[in-house]
């Protein structure tokens, strides 16, 4: 038997960027290969689910699971890997707080299917065929995973030991996590691997007292290179976003969009952003305030819940039926 540890990587509802991010640690990947046997990594290594099912419980030393839980298959794999792994890390924003797939919680399964299998202009589906979990064919029964109404984060499905935030996580933090495992210096369970403060803490820009007369979208302004982007009216989520990325975006003049998720102890990222920005709008006139918000923030959900829709206090809008029409709550 090898003395190496066993490493598993898997993805749920995600774009695949996290898989590539693992390679962002560059040549250190060789050290990973020295330290671990990769027992399961469908995107890169051939392996069977059956072989994982046959492994003893807790025989995988580390599982990096990226992606949210949208289907029954993803849930099954999450439960299986949880059972087989000593340490399981929610890797990346989708696993941590739902990320872009979580925005589907703005609508429901029926509306998604209606759009994907009927409404899109490129769809030709005269018989209105929809995916079925079981289909009988001559050779037997074909199965597909069940598509849930609601996207869940990984920790809404299984117990998670650590969180590695980011869309995708920065290579330095991935390496931090791997070293922690390799050297057996594990932080307390439940730790989010990052700082306990927000992006502003590491952002080099000069900040003033905040009074915002007008919100600007990125294409409307060439920002001053030294001043805080939010002070210039650009919605920068750095104020509410956990530090750990090194403030990469605001440093180069692009506002933080919040991929590292909320700060330590915060339940609802979007609510924090909204109450913060609402507090510093520089007007006492309700009509003017309405105008500032409507003109400057055309898409509040996309601006403030881009990564955390499935994670915060909201989690989803009330279930709707048909195509975007409100219906009875489930």
Partner 1 sequence: MSEKVGVYICHCGSNIAGMVDVEEVARWAGENLNDVAVSRDYKFMCSSLGQELIEEDIKNEGLTRVVVGACSPHLHEKTFRNACEKGGLNPYLCQMASLREQISWVSTDKDRATEKSKALISGAVERVKLHEELQPTEVPVNPNTLVVGAGIAGIQSALELADAGHHVYLVEREPSIGGHMAQFDKTFPTLDCAACILTPRMSEVGDHPNITLLSYSEVEEVTGYVGNFHARLRKKARYVNEEDCTGCGICIEKCPKKVVDDVFEAGLGYRKAIYRPFPQAVPKFPVIDTESCIYFERGTCKACEKFCPTDAIDFEQKDTYIDLDVGNIVLATGYQIFDPTKIPQYGYGRLANVFTSLEFERLCNAAGPTEGKVVLRDGVTEPESVAIVHCVGSRDKRFNPHCSAICCMSALKFGHLVMEKTGAEVYSFYIDMRPIAKGYEEFYDRLLEEGMHFIRGRVAEVTDAARKPGEEGKLIVQAEDTLIGRQRRVPVDMVILMSALEPQSDARDVALQFGISCSMKGWFTERHPKLDPVATMTDGVFIAGTCQGPKDIPDSVAQGAAAAARVQGMVTIGTVEIEPVVATIHEELCSGCRICNTLCPFNAIDYDAEKEVSVINQALCKGCGTCIAACPAQAISGAHFSNGQILAELQGLLYDVFGSNGAKAPVETPEAVPA
Residues that bind partner 1 (CB under 8 A): 49, 72-73, 75-76, 79, 133, 143-146, 148, 196-201, 207-211, 230, 238-240, 243, 262-267, 272-273, 275-276, 278-280, 330
Angle CA 240–243–245, to nearest 5: 125
Q: Least CB distance from residue 5 to partner 1, whole Å?
A: 27
Q: Least CB distance from residue 266 to partner 1, whole Å?
A: 5
CB-wise, 41 or 148, nearer to partner 1? 148
Rounded CA-CA distance 251/269 in Å is 22
Closest CA to 283 of 208, 212, 230: 212
**DSSP string across 195-237:** -SSBGGGT--SB-----BS--B-GGG----SSB-TGGGTB--G
Q: Which residue has the tokens 């439940």?
A: 190
CB-wise, 178 or 238, nearer to partner 1? 238
CB distance 193 to 163 below 8 Å: yes
CB-wise, 37 or 73, nearer to partner 1? 73
| Phi-psi sector, 318: left (phi>0), alpha (psi -120 to 50), beta | beta
* Token pair for 90: 């929610």
Q: Least CB distance from residue 196 to partner 1, whole Å?
A: 6
What is the CB neighbour count within 10 angstroms for residue 76? Answer: 13
Q: Least CB distance from residue 228 to partner 1, whole Å?
A: 8
CB-wise, 23 or 318, nearer to partner 1? 318
Q: Least CB distance from residue 262 to partner 1, whole Å?
A: 8
CB-wise, 28 or 210, nearer to partner 1? 210
CB-wise, 175 or 242, nearer to partner 1? 242
Closest CA to 150 of 316, 14, 267: 316
CB distance 303 to 278 below 8 Å: no
């Amino acid at each position: 038997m090898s003395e190496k540890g066993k490493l598993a990587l898997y993805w749920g509802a995600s774009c695949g960027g996290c898989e590539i991010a693992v390679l962002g640690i560059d040549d250190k990947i060789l050290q990973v290969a020295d330290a671990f046997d990769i027992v399961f990594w469908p995107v890169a290594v051939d392996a069977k689910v059956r072989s994982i099912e046959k492994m003893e419980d807790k025989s995988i030393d580390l599982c990096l699971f990226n992606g949210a839980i949208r289907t029954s298959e993803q849930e099954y794999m999450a439960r299986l890997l949880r059972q087989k792994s000593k340490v399981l890390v929610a890797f990346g924003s989708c696993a941590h707080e739902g990320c872009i797939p979580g925005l589907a919680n703005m609508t429901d399964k029926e509306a998604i299917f209606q759009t994907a299998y009927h409404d899109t202009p490129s769809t030709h589906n005269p018989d209105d065929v929809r995916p079925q979990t079981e289909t009988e064919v001559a050779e037997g029964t074909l199965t597909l995973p069940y598509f849930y109404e609601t996207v869940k984060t990984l920790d809404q499905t299984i117990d998670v030991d650590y969180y590695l935030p980011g869309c995708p996580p920065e290579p330095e933090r991935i390496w931090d996590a791997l070293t922690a495992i390799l050297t057996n210096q594990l932080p307390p369970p439940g730790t989010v691997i990052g700082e306990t403060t927000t992006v502003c803490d590491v952002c080099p820009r000069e900040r003033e007292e905040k009074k915002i007369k007008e919100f600007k979208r990125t294409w409307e302004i060439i920002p001053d290179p030294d001043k805080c982007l939010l002070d210039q009216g650009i919605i920068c989520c750095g104020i509410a976003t956990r530090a750990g990325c090194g403030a990469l975006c605001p440093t180069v003049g692009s506002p933080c969009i919040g991929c590292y998720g909320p700060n330590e102890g915060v339940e609802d990222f979007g609510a924090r952003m909204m109450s913060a920005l609402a507090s510093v709008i520089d007007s006492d006139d309700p009509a003017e305030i309405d105008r500032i918000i409507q003109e400057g923030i055309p898409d509040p959900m996309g601006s403030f819940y881009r990564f955390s829709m499935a994670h915060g206090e909201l989690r989803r809008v009330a279930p709707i039926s048909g195509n975007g029409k409100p219906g009875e709550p489930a």
